[in-house]
Amino acid sequence: MATNQPNLECRMYEAKYPEVDMAVMIQVKNIADMGAYVSLLEYNNIEGMILFSELSRRRIRSVSSLIKVGRQEPVMVLRVDKEKGYIDLSKRRVSEEDIQGCEERYNKSKLVHSIMRHVAETMLLDLEDLYIHVGWPLYRKYGHAFEAFKLIVTDPDSVLNALTREVKEVGPDGQEVTKVVPAMSEEVKDALIKNIRRRMTPQPLKIRADVEIKCFQLDGVLHIKEAMRKAEAAGNNDCPVKIKLVAPPLYVLTTHTLDKEQGISVLNDAIKACTEEIDRHKGKLVVKEAPRAVSEKDDKLLADQLKLNSAAEDADNDEGSEEEEDTGMGEIDLDNAAIGITE
């Protein structure tokens, strides 16, 4: 399978051309007098054409508003001339359901292709040969290689050990014989598993909600603390809930989870439990930002904000210590003062 200069260009699927009435992902290359020339991204960028009459069901007033060079989008296959290599496409005939299905399939195929291409490049393999013996057999068996790759993350041998190839050898008697051998070497197999695990192992999402909690009653600080405990108790082993003070009266609730919807649901339950508890003591909880998945950038901004508030609090505490020495006012409960009751 190895060559000095491996071929790294290959279509994603076994079929060289798409089927008629199939939605495919394209990228617009240029716009001509009759229509737009596009590349079929899943089929090694073979060329297709969208006639202007197939851009929209409505009267076209501005072509540029309907199609732009460089844009990627799903379109419908109208005709395929395999001999001449002509592929006619339509934008106006693709439905919302077709678009959703095409985008989902393309995103999976693009990830599989990226992994396959990286393995071929690093192991000096012909990409099409790797697809012939590994990728396309997995497409046939699992419906999509993406589904097989998900299984490989936890149990690679059950998927990959079943893949074989036939090789011809000359026997002792001079006759050519066919032998069945593993589809790839152990080195290639290890490289494929490593890349799949690196790219496809699920990463926990951080879900966060921002709330304001106030309570002006006697022992209001204690009531807020109890409400926070109720919020944290709403979590579970899969989605533990943590609540932190940013600056009175602003708090953030967070959880980490592999399931975004579950994480959002758990935080909503936590907010509900916290609200019910603080309402009992005539306090108030206001949701400033509803539960949502946050990025590393959001995390860093929150961490920076917490550091600034901590530094400011330390400065206030230092000033308080000096005043205590001068006036003899006694000790202050700094923990409670940090959570505080907001005027």
| CATH number for region 103-200 | 1.10.150.190
Q: Cβ distance 20 to 75 under 8 Å?
A: no
- Please list, residue by residue across 86-100, b when 16 or more beta carbons sit within 10 angstroms of its beta carbon and e when fewer do: ebbbbbeebeeebbe
Q: What is the pLDDT of residue 169?
A: 83
- Residues contacting residue 90 through CB under 8 Å, at least 6 positions apart: 50, 54, 75, 76, 78
pLDDT band at 174 (very low <50, low <70, confident <90, very high): confident
Alpha helices in 209-250, H assignment, sequence order = 220-233
Measured in whole angstroms, the distance separating CA 57 from the mean position of its chain's CA atoms is: 34
Model pTM above 0.75: no
Whether 135 and 116 have beta carbons less than 8 Å apart is answered as: yes
**Domain locations along the chain:** 103-200, 205-338
Euclidean distance between CA atoms 259 and 280, whole angstroms: 32
3-state helix, strand, coil in the chain (%, to 5): 45, 25, 30
CB atoms within 10 A of CB 271: 21
Q: pLDDT tens digits, residue range 124-145? A: 999 999 999 999 999 999 999 9
- Alpha-carbon distances, residue 224 vs 94, 132, 204, 250 (angstroms): 54, 63, 29, 12
The CA-atom distances, in angstroms, between 183 and each of 1, 120, 177, 237 are 10, 14, 18, 41
The pLDDT value given to residue 310: 60
pLDDT-derived band at 57, boundaries 50, 70, 90: confident
Strand partners, 177: 169
Long-range residue pairs from 329-334, CB within 8 A, at least 24 positions apart, any chain: none
Please name the residue that has the structure tokens 């005027």.
343
Evaluate whether 224 touches 185 at the Cβ level (below 8 Å). Answer: no
CATH homologous superfamily, domain 205-338: EIF_2_alpha (3.30.70.1130)
What is the rounded distance in angstroms from the CA atom of residue 234 to the CA atom of residue 275?
12
- Dist CA 184 CA 191 (whole Å): 11
210-265: per-residue pLDDT in tens?
999 999 998 999 999 999 999 999 999 889 999 999 998 999 999 999 889 999 99
How does residue 328 score in pLDDT terms, banded at 50, 70 and 90? very low
Residue 153 corresponds to which amino acid? Answer: V
